Structure 1
Amino acid sequence: MAETVERHGYDSVWVGDSITSKPRLEPLTIMAALAARTQRVRIGTAVMLTALRHPVHLAHALATIDNISNGRVILGAGAGRGDNQMYIDEHSAVGVPVGERADRMEEGINLLRALWTQEDVTNEGDYYPLENVTLEPQSLQQPLPVWISSNWVRRGLKRVAEMGDAWITNVPSVELFNRCWDRVQENAVEAGRDAKEMTRALYISVNLNEEDEALAEGDQFMQAYYSRPYEAVSKQLLCVFGPPEKCVQAIADYREAGVTYFIVRFASPNQMEQLNRFTNQVLPALR
């Protein structure tokens, strides 16, 4: 599928992340395989729960993939959720209290950047004490880009403003997107950063069948993935289920609001069919 995506001129391919909460192939391994099978597309995580991994191990793996791919890696990072038992259990399985995930993420990202760009890294933080650690090889990109994921949570938007090279979001309306972006800009000013330099990326779940079939298939996908029905999931993240023109309009609306990058997930078991439909019936209208 990634080779097809590259052949059709897309900019990037993305992998999701979980360890025990959902059935999934391990994302770093998949990224290495993608690096070997493609030549041009960026390879990103949408998104990686960085608190589930020690930053020294994660920095080493991502730096390796960045070298294999000739500098094409994007780390999309998120704190995840702590309000669902399967996420609580996932953190417990790797020895991380779910209530520490945001603090660990923030300390960990600072460490990742240091390990990719500096020698003799020392850290006296609360979770990852290090003394004079040097990572070799470092990432080919200096530094490797870190895109921070957040919906409308205040701490998450503050994290985007303070730490992100880009903002990944999946908020379900343009109005909410605009409100969140206003807060990111305010927080960026407080942090001494210019948010206008930040890429705004939208993660969008799509099913391009006709309306009834799209809703039925999309609901089945969401039930399997989140253990919740479409009606509940769609209140928290953007889902566009219906004919291609519906998707074209949704993307156009978010582009007008300032989104410059779209990460598309097909909520369907027929991934290649959906990709071909998107390529032939949605993409031409966006160029």
Structure 2
Amino acid sequence: MKLGLRLPQRLGVDLQNDLVEAARTAEAAGYASLWTYERLLFPEAPADPYAGVPGVPWPESQRQAADPLAVLTAAAVATERVRLGTSVLIAALHAPVQLAKTLATIDQISGGRMVAGLGAGWSTDEFRATGATGADRGRYLDETLNVFDAVWGSDPVTVRGPRAAIDSASVLPKPVSKIPVLLGGGGSKIGRNTKSKAVERIARRADGWLPFLSTPGPAGAAELRASWDRIREMAAGYGRDTSRMQMVVVGNVTFTDRPAGPGRSPFVGTLDQIMDDVRTAAEAGADELIVDLNLQEWFTGTRQMLETAVEIRERAVAS
């Protein structure tokens, strides 16, 4: 299993210097990829709890979340080998044609290293800020995928959707090759009888899945593996080559001073417990794990974050 690292975008990051240092340090340490997340704004009185989970406040560290595509552009220039991904961009917050063009441009700048991770989103405040609505978020995501297919294909481009209309036009640059599109959502417990538009969309259209691990240990590994098997079974039913699909697990790390007790969430606990969760993701069949240290409140700076990231990578290799 490969490891990826989310780049620092949070409050307190020195964007002029920290991004380049983080990108170069991660590549030198052997990380296979660098990732960014999207947080458009930080409402003082949110319409929704964080990630839509009742009672969960928005993390203060996300009062700033630097633009994910600008951050990846800086990383593209500062690195040579690592892939560059978004986990995730909220499709409804972007004009589809402009987003397709920006992703293709970063792919060209990086020499073909772009990975586009997308999601439907959950924040009413962010939808309102861009003139979107939560009710239409799935429709906007489908339109964005349609526009990607058209714009990244051959010219002239013709495509029509709720927000995009192109009639026989050239749209350049094109990606170096097809940019893999991964989708989040769908939950982590996908059974044979699960009926979900999000799961259907992943199976029909995505090059991969961006899930979270919901339970630590063997039970969590078995649960996630079963869900991934179900998605690939559905994809095969649509005539797709499932050997080319990837599962990239997202690990949002929160360290604790003492070992977290029974009932802990994955990637919450001591470093030893975090490493157990890394192994659980591998046992679940993950092709890659994104290590996200952006939510960690006690990091005093990017240097401390990177020292921890390097240690995680070294311990993963040694295990």
Superposition TM-score tier, normalisation by shorter sequence: 0.7 to 0.9
Matches of 1:52 and 1:281 in 2, distance apart? 33
Matches of 1:282 and 1:145 in 2, distance apart? 24
Q: CA deviation at 1:167?
A: 0.9
- Structure 1 SS opposite 2:117: strand
Match of 2:125 in 1: 89
User: In the alignment, which of 216, 223, 233 is matched to residue 186 of structure 1?
Assistant: 233
CA 1:89 to 1:41, structure 2 compared with 1: closer, same or farther past 3 Å? same
Matches of 1:281 and 1:17 in 2, distance apart? 24
Match of 1:8 in 2: 29
Offset from partner CA, 1:73-118 (integer Å, 9 cap, x none): 111111112xxxxx11211111112111111111211211321122
Q: CA deviation at 1:261?
A: 0.2
Does the alignment pair 1:268 with 2:296? yes
CA 1:106 to 1:68, structure 2 compared with 1: closer, same or farther past 3 Å? same
CA 1:207 to 1:283, structure 2 compared with 1: closer, same or farther past 3 Å? farther
- Structure 1 SS opposite 2:132: coil
Offset from partner CA, 1:200-252 (integer Å, 9 cap, x none): 1100012345326x89xxxxxxxxxxxxxxx9xx8xxx641222221222121
Does the alignment pair 1:284 with 2:311? no
Match of 1:227 in 2: none
- Structure 1 SS opposite 2:80: coil
- Structure 1 SS opposite 2:198: helix
The code of the aligned residue for 1:277 comes to: T
In the superposition, the TM-score normalised over structure 2's length comes to: 0.74
The code of the aligned residue for 1:109 comes to: L
Matches within 5 A, 1:192-207: 192-207=239-254
Does structure 2 retain, via aligned residues, the 8 Å contact 1:151–1:170? no
Give the root-mean-square deviation of aligned CA atoms: 2.3
- Structure 1 SS opposite 2:35: strand
Unaligned runs of 5+ in 1: 82-86, 216-230
CA 1:283 to 1:156, structure 2 compared with 1: closer, same or farther past 3 Å? farther
Q: CA deviation at 1:273?
A: 2.1
Offset from partner CA, 1:18-67 (integer Å, 9 cap, x none): 22245311111111111111122111111111221111111111111111
Match of 1:251 in 2: 278
Q: CA deviation at 1:119?
A: 0.8
Does structure 2 retain, via aligned residues, the 8 Å contact 1:161–1:195? no
Match of 1:220 in 2: none
- The structure whose RCO (Cα within 8 Å, separation 6+) is larger is 2
Q: CA deviation at 1:179?
A: 3.9
- Greater helix share, 1 or 2? 1
The code of the aligned residue for 1:29 comes to: A
Does the alignment pair 1:61 with 2:102? yes
Match of 2:180 in 1: 145
In the superposition, the TM-score normalised over structure 1's length comes to: 0.82
The code of the aligned residue for 2:26 comes to: V
CA 1:211 to 1:133, structure 2 compared with 1: closer, same or farther past 3 Å? farther
Match of 1:20 in 2: 41
Matches of 2:316 and 2:290 in 1, distance apart? 17
Matches of 2:312 and 2:101 in 1, distance apart? 40
Match of 1:77 in 2: 118
Does structure 2 retain, via aligned residues, the 8 Å contact 1:157–1:183? no
Offset from partner CA, 1:143-194 (integer Å, 9 cap, x none): 1111111242822221111111111111312244134223312321332224
Does structure 2 retain, via aligned residues, the 8 Å contact 1:208–1:277? no
Matches of 1:258 and 1:103 in 2, distance apart? 30
